[in-house]
Amino acid sequence: MPDRPTRSRTHFRGAAGDWPGQPAGGSDSGPADEDAVDRLTEQLEIAKSLAAEHLASLQRTAADFANFKRRTAEDRERELGLAGEGLLRKVIVVADDFDRALDHMPAEFKDTPWIEGIVLLDRKLRALLESEGVTAIESIGRAFDPHEHEAIAIVPGTGRPDGEIVDEVQRGYRVRDRVLRPALVAVAGDAGPGATTTNIH
């Protein structure tokens, strides 16, 4: 019989591994991959911790800066307010002059044009003060309040409760929620030894 031509056999590697039935990557690749995953997980946790620390630090810095801005604004407003109050105290001295002039105005001059002009100026001055938040402190008929009134005399025999204000010697003013100048008043009460008394207008 004629000889058959011989053919060389070639083995092909399977897609799953080097040899049929062998898993890809070799039999010893599992532990190495696990170690790498563990290292990456550890590094990720460290990075997360550092990021949290940096975020907390930035938040504290932002809060400190916000507080600094608030305090600076409050200090500036307080300084401007003090400067404004100094000017307002000078203006109310002028208002005192108007009070005295109008209180002691002779009755025969009451309806003269120039007196009417003074009254108009007084109204404009009061309107200016009110526009700046300045209002008069009410006194007569009220109970004495040491935060708003300064007692300079005690008036006995008025028939009114002790401590009630019976006379206002000088008008007091407040600016918004602060006392700009306390009112000088006389209060009802029994005059003890050394007490100052005054007559009611």
Residue 198 lies in a domain: yes
Q: What is the pLDDT of residue 176?
A: 84
Q: If 0-12 CB within 10 Å is exposed, 13-18 middle and 19+ buried, where does residue 137 land?
A: buried
Domains identified in the chain, total number: 1
Residue 155 lies in a domain: yes
Residue-number span of the structural domain to which 182 is assigned: 135-201
Residue 188 lies in a domain: yes
Residue 152 lies in a domain: yes
What are the two backbone dihedrals, phi and then psi, of residue 188, each rounded to the nearest 5 degrees? -75, 145
Neighbouring-strand partners of residue 164 = 143
Nearest-5° Cα angle at 193, 190 to 195: 65
Q: What is the pLDDT of residues 25-68, one digit of tens each?
A: 544 556 778 888 888 888 888 888 888 888 888 888 888 888 88
- What's the average model confidence in pLDDT over 100-109? 85
Is residue 146 very low, low, confident or very high in pLDDT (cuts 50, 70, 90)? very high
Is residue 120 very low, low, confident or very high in pLDDT (cuts 50, 70, 90)? very high
Is residue 138 very low, low, confident or very high in pLDDT (cuts 50, 70, 90)? very high
What are the two backbone dihedrals, phi and then psi, of residue 4, each rounded to the nearest 5 degrees? -85, 140
Instruction: Print burial letters for 149-183: b (CB count within 10 Å at least 16), e (below 16).
Output: bebebbbeebeeeeebbbbbebbbbbbeeeebbbb
Residue 146 lies in a domain: yes
CATH number reported for the structural domain that contains residue 152 in this entry? 2.30.22.10
Higher-confidence position of 4 and 187: 187
Residue 81 lies in a domain: no
Tell me: pLDDT of 104 over 70. yes
Residue 157 lies in a domain: yes
Q: What is the pLDDT of residues 62-98, one digit of tens each?
A: 888 888 888 877 767 666 555 588 889 999 999 999 9
191 alpha-carbon distance from chain centroid: 45
Q: What is the pLDDT of residue 5?
A: 53
Residue 143 lies in a domain: yes
